[in-house]
A and B are shown apart, each in its own frame.
Chain A
Amino acid sequence: MLSDATVDVSARRDWMSVLAKAKAPSLLELWRDRPEQRLPWHFIRRPEVGLTMLRGRAGGDGQRFNLGEATVTRCSVEVDRRLMGHAYLLGRDLQHAEAAARLDALLQDPDYQAELLRAVIEPLRHAQAEERALASRKAAATTVDFFTLVRGED
């Protein structure tokens, strides 16, 4: 697609991931009063909820197996008749998907990118990192180490 050539794939992957993992209320809060809201846009594909199969590997490198299905919401928009934005996220929050898709579109435009990265993406990324650190601190506090004595049976 037209926009793909001009956008760094890994950067886009990164902000799409931050948008998808963000807590919906904090994303909507940051997005609500942005001036970019005024740009014309329309849905290419309205937010829709579906299922996707999650697959895992035992121990990270075993046989692949189907872990179970997860609810996924996807949405595609076009902003300003030239920027395509997509969002795929876990859960069934339609507003979250719409906001994430519109931001994905805008972030591809160099004119808006830096400002949106600063004002929306970075705060979300920061919040996610903190939450992760908190969770791992909590887990680390209750960690139990198991020791097994070698019994020399084999």
Chain B
Amino acid sequence: MEATSLLRPGFADPVMHAQETFRMVLDAMSRPGSLHASTVSLEPPRSLHPATAALCLTLLDHETPLWLDPSLESDEVWTFLRFHCGCPLAEERSAAAFAVLDGAPCGLASFAQGTPEYPDTSATLICQVEGLREHGPLILRGPGIRDRASLGLSPFPATFLEEWEGNQARFPRGVDIIWVSGKTIVGLPRTTRLEM
């Protein structure tokens, strides 16, 4: 037997930490483009950022199939998520309620978009990036933003702007994104317009 942990612990205080994290997501989604830091201390599986792990523990359960980016996948991650969240693994992108992705996503249309009657059944994408800065080349406008906000994302492929326009064209359907870097998160709901 190797002398490493078989399975990492979840929240030390499940109720309080899940509530704190949920509050953080609410704030991030209602003020798109603003940075929010997770205060919960957590030792996540290797390929997940601490805030990603906190979001998973808070948002996922047995009713939310998860799509995990193949580059992030490992036995350790699946064991962690299955044990603590009990979430099923989505076979197809379109079957997932949540997705954890590495970098800016492409193919937004391949995820669940919701229906005009139930736009809330669309997927929420948790995207891990290397850096998030409060000020940067991206200009954000829309509900929850006074005038405009700016954001720096790295890496940021230029093709994402096009993807995002496509997502906006499907409104009220479409996916929402939570950007994660380390312990910091930024919300990008489908109502936010992006410019460079």
Contacts and interface: CB of A to CB of B under 8 A. Distances in A.
Interface of A: 1-3, 6, 42-46, 48, 76, 78, 81-82, 84
Interface string B84-121: 10000000000000000000000000000000000000
Q: Tell me if B's interface is mostly helix, strand, loop or mixed.
A: loop
B14 interface: yes
Interface stretch (B1-9, B24-32, B45-53, B157-165): B1-9
Contact of B1 (A2, A42, A43, A45): A2
Given A44-B83, A45-B84, A78 B5 contact: yes
A82 B9 contact: no
Interface string B43-61: 0000000000000000000
A1 B6 contact: yes
B9 A3 contact: no
Interface of B: 1-10, 12, 14, 79, 83-84
B169 to A, nearest CB: 44
A73 to B, nearest CB: 14
Given A2-B1, A44-B83, A45-B84, A78 B14 contact: no
Given A2-B1, A44-B83, A84 B10 contact: no
A3 B8 CA distance: 15
A42 B5 CA distance: 10
Contacts of A6: 1
Contacts of A1: 6-7, 79
The 4 A-B pairs with the shortest beta carbon distances in the complex, nearest first, are A82-B1, A44-B9, A84-B6, A44-B7
Given A44-B83, A45-B84, A81 B14 contact: no
Contact of B2 (A45, A76, A82): A82
Nearest to B4: A81
Contacts of B8: 44
Contact of A82 (B6, B14, B83, B84): B6
Contacts of B12: 43, 46
Nearest to B13: A46
A3 B6 contact: yes
25 contacts: A1-B7, A1-B79, A2-B1, A2-B6, A3-B1, A3-B6, A6-B1, A44-B8, A44-B9, A45-B9, A45-B10, A45-B84, A46-B12, A48-B14, A76-B7, A78-B5, A78-B6, A78-B7, A78-B9, A81-B3, A81-B4, A81-B5, A82-B2, A82-B4, A84-B6
